[in-house]
Structure 1
Amino acid sequence: MRGLTEANLKTLAGPRSYERGLGYLDAVSGVEVGDGWVTASVNGTERYEVELALDGPGGLSGECDCPYGLEGNFCKHLVALGLTVLAQRESLPQQRKAARGRTQNLEAWLSALPKAELLALLREQIGEDRQLRRRLELRAASARGDFAAVRARIRDLLDIGAYAQYGYVEYADARAFADQAGEAVSAICGLTGSARAGDAITLSREAMRLLGQAVESVDDSDGWLGQVGADLADAHLDACRAARSDPEELARWLVGHALGDLDGLTDIDPLDYEDVLGEEGMAVLRKLAVEAWRGNRRSWAEKHLMERLAKAGGDIDAVIAVHAADLSPNGHTHLVIARELDTARRPDEALRWAERGVGKARDARELSAVDTALVDYLCDRYAQGGRLPDAVALRRDNFGARRTLLAYQQLRAAARAADCWPAEREGALALLRADAGRRQEGWYGGSVLVDALLDDKDVDAAWRAVGEAGAHDRQWLTLADQARATRPADALGVYLRLAEPLTKQTGNAFYEKLVSLLLSIRDCHRLLGTPKDEFTAYVTALRTAQKRKRNLMRLMDEHGL
C-alpha cells in the first residue's frame, strides 16, 4: 500500500489526467480487492474495466481498456479507482487478508476434489472460455506428439480472421490478436521443453512467415506483434540449441532470414547463434554473407550483415571494404571509415580517408554539399597534428561555400589559433558584404554580415551594416543591447520601436518581452540623464492604455514599472 498515494497517482497520470479523474469518483463500481491488486468498472464514454497493481516489482501501476489506457497511459479512470481505494485505506489490509484467505480456500477445495469432479469443472470452463480451450487443445496435441494438429492450431492462432473486419485488424483489436499469437509462441516453447526441439524449429520458422503476413494487416501501433516476433526469435534460438541443429543448414537459413523481409519483425542476430553454429557453421555463414554482398553491394541488408560479421571477426579491412563499395557523395561514408580506422588505431589511414572525402568537393568548389561533421573531423585532426594553416584553409573554404554564422565562428576560432584572424576576418566580411548587397527584402533571418559583426562585438561596424543592408528585429535588439552603454540614444530608439507592436499583443510571452524592453528603455533614460518624469509619463500612458491586461500590470508591478 505504500506506493498508493495521491502524489504517486498524480505523478503517474500527470496533472491533467489527475484533475479529470477527480470527476469520475462517482463512476467507480464493482470494486474487488485481491492480494496486491484491485479491479473495478468505471463508467465513462463507455464502461471500462480497470485494474491497479498495488505493489508490483515496478511499484504502483495500472491497466485500463479505454483508448488512452490501451496506449499504455495511466488514465483518469485509474486515478478514480486509486482515489476510491485511498478513501477506504483503513479497511484495505483486512480486505487483502480476506482475498488471500479466499485464494487458499479455493486451492484447498480444488486439491480435495475427486478427479471426475475436477474434469467436469474443467470441461465447464472450456465450454465457456474459447481462449482456454485453444490453449489446452494445443497442449494436448503437443503431449501426444501430433505434429499435424499442433501445426494446424498454430496456423489458426496466427490467422487474423477472427479479429479482422474487411481484412484488417483495427487498433482496438490488435492487443487481443497479439495475445492469441503469443499462445502460438508458448506452444513452440513447450515443444522444446518436451524434447521435441526439431519440431519447434520447423514450427517457429513457419510461424515467423505467418506472423510476417499477418502484421501487414494489423494496426500494431503499440508494437505488440513486434514483441511476439522477438519472443518467436528467442524460441527459435532455444530450439536450435536444444536440437543441436545442422550448422550448414542453420547458417543458410540465418543468411536467408537476415536478407529477407521478416528480419525487421524478429530482429534475429546471426551472431547470437555462434555457439550453435560452431567454427564450421560460422565459416559457412561468412562465405554466404560475402557472396550475397558481392552480388548486391548497395543493399542495406547485405551491407549490414557483412559489417556485423566483419566487426565480430575483428576484420577492420573487411569493414572498410563494405563501406568503400558504396561511398556517399557528401562524404559521410568517408567519415564512418575514418572513425573505424581511428578505433583500430590506424590514424594515418583515417586522415587520408577524411581528406579524400573532402578533396573532390573542394576541387570542384562544391564544399557546401559535404557533411559538416566530416569537415569538423578533418579540422580537428589538423589542429591536433599542429597543421594549423591547413585547418584555417579548410575553414576558409567551408565558410566561402556556406556563408553561415556558424561557419564564420569556426573560421575565427581556427584563425585565432593560427594567429592570423585579422587578415582572414577582412576576407570573410568582404564576402558577407557582397551577400548583403544582393539580399532580397523579407529575408526572415536577417543579414549574416550583421550577425557576424554582432558576434565580434563590433558595434560601430554593425550600426553601419544595418543602415546599409537592414536587419531583422532580433538583430536590432541584440545591437541595441550591445550599444546601450556607448550609444544610449540610438539604443533607445530601437527599444521604443520594438515595444510598440508588443502593446497590441496578448499573452504572457509577449508581456515578458514588453517588460524586458521597458527595463532597457528605463536604463537608456538613466544613461542619457533625461528628466525622470519623461520615462514616468511614458509608463503612465502605457499603463492607462493596457490596464485591462492584468498579467501585464502584475509583471510591471513586480519590476517597479
Structure 2
Amino acid sequence: MNNLTEANLKALAGPRSYERGLGYLDAVAGVEVGDSRVTAIVHGTERYTVELVLEGPGGVDGRGGLSGECDCPYGLEGNFCKHLVALGLTVLAEPEGSLPRQRKAARDRGQDLAAWLSGLSKEELLALVREQVGEDRQLRRRLELRAASARGDLAGVRARIRELLDIGPFARYGYVEYADARAYADQAGQAVSAIRALTGSGRPADAITLAREAMRLLTEAVESVDDSDGGLGQVGADLAEVHLDACRTARPDPEELARWLVGHVLGDFDDLTGVDPLDYEDALGERGMTLLRRLAAEAWRGKRTGWAEKHLMERLAKAGGDVDAVIAVHAADLAENGHTHLVIARELDTAGRTDEALSWAERGMRDMRDLAAVDTALVDYLCDRYGRAARLSDAVALRRDHFGARRTLFSYRQLRAAAQAAECWPAEREGALDLLRADTGRRQGGWYNGSVLVDALLDDKDIEACWQAAAETGAHDRQWLALADLARETRPADALGVYLRLAEPLTKQTGNHVYEQLVSLLLGARDCHRRLGTPDEFTAYATALRTVQRRKRNLMRLMEQRGL
C-alpha cells in the first residue's frame, strides 16, 4: 500500500501549509529514499533537515501511518509543515513505480550490509569501528563514555559528560544561537543517556552523583543558549527522570536526599529540570519525608513571600491533606486585590468548610483599600454565594459598591442582573444613572472612550433617555451609530441625520472595508427615508453619490449587489 499521496499530504498539513509547500518544490535537495523513510534538505529561511516516515504505527486515520519530522520552528512544534509537503510532492513527481523500486533497493542494500558485517572477523570489525571513530567525533564520544562506564571509571565518565555539556564548540562569541541550539541539545542528550546507562549497569549511586552535576552544568549552559524550541528543557526533564530512577534503585540516605531536594527546588535549577519532591516519596520513606516537610517549613518561615518556598509548602501541605497549612501559606502573603482571599475560600470550599470560605471571601472585601482594584472574581464568588443563600439584598449591595468604584458598562450589567433578581432594579437603576451623569464631563470610560452613561442607556434600550444624554454630553461615532440603529423605527429623522453625517467622510476614502461601512450606512438611511415616506429623496441622494463615486468600481459593485 502506498501511503504517500497528495490527499494524505493535504490532510496532514492542512490547506494552508499544503499550498505554501507548493512554493518550495525547487528548494528540495539531497533526497534519499530508505526502506520506510525519505530524507532530504529543504532550503527555506534556514537549511532544514526533513524526514518523511512512509509507514508508522497505527494508520487508523486512513493515512497508513504516514508522518514526518522537520527541524524548522513550525515542524519542531509537532506540525506537518510546508517543507514536508514539498518533499512529499517531490517524491510523488518521480516516474510511476520509482518509489517502490527505490525502497526495495534500499531494503536490499540494508540486507547486503547486514550480511557483509556478519561475515567480518573480529579483527576486521574492530578495524572498521576504529576507522569510524577516527572520522566521527560524536560516535567517538559515545563509545568513550561506554568504555569509561564499563571499566568503572567515574572520573572518565564525568570528564566526558562535561565535554558533552560544554557549549564551547557551538558558541559564537560565547552564545549558542538558534541555528546551533538543536545540535547542542542533541549532544547534551547523549550525556543523559550515559548517566541512565550507569543505573542500568548496576551503578545507580554514580548515576545520582553525575545527574546532579549535570543538572548544575546544564543550568549554567542554558543561560547562553537560544532554547526557543525547548530542546534543553526536554533534556532537563529527562535528566530529572534519570535522577529519580537512580534514587529509586540505589535507595540513598533519605535525609541527605531530602536536603538535596529542598536545596534543588529552592535553588536556581528547578526551572529547567522540574524536579517534584513528591515523586521521591518511595525513595525518601517516612524518615526522609518528615525531614523534607520540616526543611520546607523552615525555608518558608524564613521567606514567606518567596514563590518557590510558598509553592513547595503548598504542594506538601496539599499532599498531606493539611488544609490549615495550605491556608497558612496563603494567609502569610495576602494580595491587595483580594485574589488570595478567594484562593483560600476555594480551598475551604473544596474541604467542605463553606462557612469559613464565605468568611474569608468577605474579609477580602473588608480588607480592600481600593474597591476599584478588587479581583472581580472575588466579587462574583460572593454574589454567587449570596444568591444561593437567598441573600439577594447583600448581592445587590455588593454589586452597587463595586459599580460605584468601577462605573463600567460591565459592572452596570452585573448590578442590573442582581437587582432584577431582587426585584429592585428601578430604584437601583436611578442611583446608578445618577452616578454616571455626575461622571459626564469628568471621565470617559465607555466603549471607544465614549460616555458610559450612553453605553448603559443603550444597553437598557432606553432610546429617548439615551438620545438626550448623547446630545447633551456627547458620544462617540460608534455609539451614535448604535443609537441610530436602535432608534430608526421611532425616530427615523434623527437616525437619518446620524447615518448621513457618518457617511460623508467615508465618501472621501477608499478601500473595501470603507465601502462595506458606507453601504451599511446607506441601507440604514434608505430605511429611514422609507419610514418617513420620502423614498424619492433617497433615490436622488444615491444617484448623485453614484455619479460622484463612479470610479470606485468595488463600491459600485457592492451598491449594486445591495440594491442601492
Q: Under TM normalisation by the shorter chain, which class is it?
A: over 0.9
> What CA distance in whole angstroms lies between the structure 2 residues aligned with 1:443 and 1:377?
26
Aligned to 1:34: 34
**Which residues of 2 match residues 219-298 of structure 1 at below 5 A?**
219-298=226-305
1:390 maps to: 394
| Residue 83 (1) aligns with residue 86 (2) | no
Give 1:133's aligned residue. 140
Confirm or deny that 1:430 pairs with 2:445.
no
TM-score by length of 1: 0.94
Aligned letter for 1:176? A
Rounded Cα–Cα distance in structure 2 between residues aligned with 1:253 and 1:6: 55
C-alpha displacement at 1:112, in angstroms?
Answer: 1.8
* Counterpart mapping for 1:1-80 below 5 A: 3-10=3-10, 18-42=18-42, 49-57=49-57, 59-64=65-70, 74-80=80-86
Residue 315 (str. 1) matches residue 318 (str. 2): no
Q: Superposition pairs for residues 150-229 of structure 1, below 5 Å?
A: 150-229=157-236
Which of 440, 458, 462 is the matching residue for 2:462? 458
Change (3 A) 1:497 1:3: farther
Which residue in 2 is equivalent to 1:559?
562
- Aligned mate of 1:115, from 122, 127, 143: 122
User: 1:402 matched to which residue of 2?
Assistant: 406
User: How much identity, in percent, do the aligned residues show?
Assistant: 80
SS in 1 for 2:440: helix
In the alignment, structure 1 residue 512 sits paired with structure 2 residue 516: yes
Q: In structure 2, do the counterparts of structure 1 residues 5 and 527 end up closer, same or farther at CA, with 3 Å as the change threshold?
A: farther
Q: Corresponding residue for 1:541?
A: 544
Structure 1 residues 341-490: aligned runs within 5 Å:
341-361=348-368, 366-439=370-443, 444-490=448-494
- Contact 2:484–2:495 under 8 Å retained in 1: yes
Bigger drift between 433-442 and 63-72 goes to: 63-72
**Helix, strand or coil at the partner of 1:450:** helix
One-letter identity of the residue aligned with 2:456: A
Please give the per-residue CA displacement for 1:469-504, whole angstroms capped at 9, x wherever unaligned. Answer: 010111111111111111111111111111222223
Q: What TM-score do you get using the length of structure 2 for normalisation? A: 0.93
Relative distance call for 1:417 and 1:2 in structure 2 (3 A) is farther
Q: For residues 337 and 19 of structure 1, do their structure 2 counterparts lie closer, same or farther at Cα, with a shift above 3 Å needed? A: same
The aligned length equals 557
Q: Which amino acid aligns with 1:544?
A: T
Two-structure CA RMSD over aligned residues (Å): 2.3
Give 3-state SS (helix, strand or coil) of 1:55's partner.
coil
The structure-2 alpha-carbon separation of the partners of 1:3 and 1:554, relative to structure 1 and needing over 3 Å to count, comes to farther
Summarize the Cα distance change of 1:517–1:231 in structure 2 as closer, same or farther, 3 Å threshold.
same
3-state SS in 2 of match to 1:165: coil
Give the distance between the partners of 2:471 and 2:225, measured in 1 at CA. 62
Alpha-carbon distance in structure 1 between the residues aligned to 2:374 and 2:497: 43
Q: Whole-Å Cα distance in 2 between the matches of residues 86 and 95 of structure 1?
A: 13
Query: Quick one: distance in 2 between partners of 1:11 and 1:550?
Result: 38
Give the partner amino acid of 1:40.
A
| 8 Å Cα contact 2:73/2:229 also seen in 1 | no
Q: Does 1:99 align with 2:106?
A: yes
Bigger mean CA deviation after superposition, 245-254 or 494-503: 494-503
- Matched AA of 2:93: A
Task: For residues 390-432 of structure 1, give each alpha carbon's deviation from its aligned partner in whole angstroms, at most 9, with x where no partner exists.
Answer: 1111111111111111111111111111111111111111010
Shift of residue 435, structure 1, vs aligned partner: 0.4
Q: Secondary structure at the match of 1:345?
A: coil
Q: Which moved more, 1:181-190 or 1:435-444?
A: 435-444
1:453 Cα shift? 0.5
For residue 442 of structure 1, report the CA deviation from its aligned partner. Answer: 12
**Using the alignment, how far apart are the partners of 1:440 and 1:243 within structure 2?**
68
Write out per-residue CA displacement over residues 88-129 of structure 1, whole angstroms, 9 at most, x where no aligned residue: 354322322332222222212212211111111111111111
Equivalent residue letter for 1:314? G
Unaligned runs of 5+ in 2: 59-64
| SS at structure 2 position matched to 1:124 | helix
- Residues of 2 paired with 1:412 and 1:267: CA distance? 47
The answer as to whether partners of 2:68 and 2:80 remain within 8 angstroms in 1 is yes
Does the Cα contact within 8 Å between 2:446 and 2:452 map onto a contact in 1? no
Q: What is the alpha-carbon distance in structure 2 between the residues aligned to residue 48 and residue 208 of structure 1?
A: 30
Cα 1:243–1:92 shift into 2, 3 Å: same
Bigger shift: 498-507 or 375-384? 498-507
Matched residue SS, 2:315: helix
CA deviations 1:277-299 (Å, max 9, x no partner) are 12221111111111111111110
Map Cα deviations across residues 264-323 of structure 1 (whole Å, 9 max, x no partner). Answer: 000001011111112221111111111111111110000000000000011100000000
Contact 2:348 2:354 in 1 (8 A): yes
| Partner AA of 2:265 in structure 1 | A
In the other structure, the counterpart of 2:345 is: 338
Which amino acid counterpart does residue 506 of structure 1 have in structure 2? Answer: T
Distance 1:67 1:230, change over 3 A: closer
Structure-2 separation of matches of 1:151 and 1:356:
56
> Does the residue aligned with 1:220 lie in a helix, a strand or coil?
coil
Q: 1:212 & 1:439 partners in 2: Cα distance?
A: 51
**Displacement of 1:513:** 2.0
Question: Distance in 1 between the 2:253 and 2:393 partners?
Answer: 61
Deviation by residue 1:188-234 (Cα, 9 ceiling, x = unmatched) = 00000000000000000000000011111111111111110000000
